């Protein structure tokens, strides 16, 4: 659900409203106090691990599960 298109490292994370790859819904990304993701239901998650390179993209570990509406 909270996957975005592309191979995005932590120094390239966009801020503001970002469309997700699977549902087309937007999530909001803020970098004011770390990297915080907010979904459409105002649930938040903080990125705790960064730049884990996978075969098909980069993984950033979050501390809370975000579910689509």
Q: What is the pTM of this model?
A: 0.80
Looking at residue 63, its pLDDT comes to 95
Q: Which of 5-9, 17-21, 48-52, 54-58 has the highest mean pLDDT?
A: 48-52
CA distances from residue 11 to 7, 30, 61, 65 in whole angstroms, order as listed: 11, 13, 15, 23
DSSP secondary-structure letter at 41? T
Average confidence score pLDDT of the chain:
87
Say how far apart CA 47 and CA 69 lie, in whole Å: 21
Per-residue pLDDT averaged across 44-59, rounded?
Answer: 92
Looking at residue 16, its pLDDT comes to 93
pLDDT in tens, 27-47: 899 999 889 999 888 999 999
């Amino acid at each position: 659900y909270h996957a975005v298109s592309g191979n995005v490292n932590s120094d390239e994370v966009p801020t503001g409203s970002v469309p997700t790859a699977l549902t087309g819904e937007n999530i909001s990304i803020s970098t004011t106090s770390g990297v915080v993701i907010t979904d459409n239901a105002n649930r938040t998650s903080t990125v705790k691990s960064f730049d884990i390179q996978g075969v098909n993209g980069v993984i950033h570990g979050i501390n809370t599960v975000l579910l689509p509406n």
